[in-house]
Structure 1
Amino acid sequence: MSTEPPFSPNVSEAPITGAGLVLGLRKVSVLIPGIVVFAVAFGAAASAKGLSFLETMLMSAFVYAGVAQLVAMELWRPEWTWGAIAGLAVVTATVNARMVLQGASLQPWFAKYPKALNAFHLFFFTDANWLIGTRYRAEGGRDLGVLVGAGLVLWVVWAIATGGGYMLGALVSDPRRYGIDLVMPIFFAAMIVPLWRGRRGMVPWVVAGLVALITARLVDGYAFIIVGSLAGALTGAFRDDAA
């Protein structure tokens, strides 16, 4: 019978320091202008849909789901049915499903820390954090403070810019005139660049994009998000099995 003590996080293997928090702030600072525009777009959309200022701020502070919040505003309606609620839940869950894989890819890093700390920093986990964390780990970094610092800064910026966007939306009758509706596709297009892994990874992306475009032309609503993502995921899975 083993007498070894149960596993506990080894601080020397996985530190979290003040220097890491500052480094996270520095690394994410270049993304802040884009996040501000993104949050302003959500605030303006929420205002146009008739949400109150308090409702909008609470959504950004506690839901804090970026793209899913914008998608929710696109599907928002003055009166709700159970079917509409279910549809909104499925679409936003599909949009956010990427976070499961993103978190799993960094799990070997997170696993060294207590569950309470992981629960805390994962509340602030975003696409930007994941990109920063992936690069940082690839370069040999191990200080979780980088993710915590970046996440806290982005959360504060997101909430403040949402308020500004809401007030802007109250003044602008049609935010689309200023291209605010283009923020989401531009954001995702920019995300693709650092994720490039060569021609092999291009095939699932192309399949997902083409299937999504065809579905959008044939089916009303946001079914293209679900169908496109599933098509890309299945293509990638079959290609890996065949390799």
Structure 2
Amino acid sequence: MVMTMRIANSSSSSCTTAAFRQGFFAALPFIASNGIAGIAMGVAYRSLELGFVPAVLFSLVVYSATAQAVTLGLWALPPPVAALMFACVATNARYLVMGAQLRQLFPDISRRVMLPILFLLADASWLMTVAEAERGRRDAGYLLGCSLPMAIGWIGGTALGYALPLRPHGPFAIAAAFLPFAFVAALLPTQWRGRKSLLPWTVSAAVGIAVASKLDQSWAMLIGGGAGMFVNLLCGDDA
């Protein structure tokens, strides 16, 4: 008999422990992959002389590899708080779209159940959950299950990378320098919507290249991405 974490008002969606287990085991490989990236992030935070607790809290509270990677290039003392916050908002704007789609997939699940689950939302767990829903299996327990190993890998990897005696200029530190590009490149296929994406992407690339000649590469990525997002919003659903 399937144990249900919450009984939905409709049979269209539910939140069961059986689906949680299925999602958890399906996402177990992400503990290793996210862990390796998290180690690189931990080494990068240590090279910035950020304390162990703040470094781990950064990965726990922000919990966005893309946003954290972009903010690495913006880090300074004292921290530019406004720029860091803008970077996090701009790079995480895609989660608004993901959240809206999940709301359609799980309309019967209450907010007090969904909001804690969404705290652990990641690009891969969203894709896996949408794929499950397309197979006719709509279960928020699956989303939580596949999100958890990703969070364990990323947050645990950050702590491990900071604690390990890795050289500040060793392989992991070099990898950390390429994290912004790696995460952006990994996201590109999921954001492409055919011809509709041509205009905002072109604007984003043009602005980024223009800014790169004047400012830091992370600022170029941030401002270029913001310009593309602005064009996309202006064009509405047609962009």
- Range into which the TM-score falls when normalised by the shorter chain: 0.7 to 0.9
Choose 1 or 2 for highest CA Rg. 1
What is the identity, as a one-letter code, of the residue corresponding to 1:71?
V
Q: Secondary structure of 2:73's match?
A: helix
Q: Which residue of 2 aligns with 1:25?
A: 24
Does the CA contact (< 8 Å) of 1:45 and 1:70 recur in 2? no
Q: Which residue of 2 aligns with 1:164?
A: 160
Task: Specify whether residues 192 and 28 from structure 1 end up closer, same or farther in structure 2 by C-alpha distance, changes over 3 A only.
Answer: farther
What is the identity, as a one-letter code, of the residue corresponding to 1:19?
A
How big is the shift at 1:136?
2.6
Query: What do you get for the CA RMSD once the two structures are aligned?
Result: 2.8
What is the identity, as a one-letter code, of the residue corresponding to 2:223?
V
Task: Specify whether residues 95 and 175 from structure 1 end up closer, same or farther in structure 2 by C-alpha distance, changes over 3 A only.
Answer: farther
Q: Which residue of 2 aligns with 1:92?
A: 88
Distance 1:69 1:227 in 2: 16
Distance 1:206 1:32 in 2: 35
Does the CA contact (< 8 Å) of 2:32 and 2:153 recur in 1? no
Q: Give the 5 Å matches for 1:158-237.
A: 158-168=154-164, 170-175=165-170, 178-220=174-216, 222-237=218-233
5+ long unaligned stretches in structure 1: 1-7
Distance 2:98 2:130 in 1: 9
How big is the shift at 1:233?
2.9
Q: Which residue of 1 aligns with 2:74?
A: 75
1:139 aligns with 2:138: no
Alignment: residue pair count: 232
5+ long unaligned stretches in structure 2: 1-6
Does the CA contact (< 8 Å) of 1:91 and 1:225 recur in 2? no
Does the CA contact (< 8 Å) of 1:175 and 1:181 recur in 2? no
Task: Specify whether residues 103 and 140 from structure 1 end up closer, same or farther in structure 2 by C-alpha distance, changes over 3 A only.
Answer: same
How big is the shift at 1:113?
0.7
Distance 1:191 1:217 in 2: 24
Distance 1:121 1:217 in 2: 41
Runs of 4+ displaced beyond 4 Å: 237-243
Q: Secondary structure of 1:79's match?
A: coil
How big is the shift at 1:166?
0.8
How big is the shift at 1:186?
1.8
Task: Specify whether residues 34 and 191 from structure 1 end up closer, same or farther in structure 2 by C-alpha distance, changes over 3 A only.
Answer: farther
What is the identity, as a one-letter code, of the residue corresponding to 1:125?
L
Does the CA contact (< 8 Å) of 2:106 and 2:138 recur in 1? no
Does the CA contact (< 8 Å) of 1:91 and 1:226 recur in 2? yes
Does the CA contact (< 8 Å) of 2:200 and 2:231 recur in 1? yes
Distance 1:140 1:115 in 2: 22
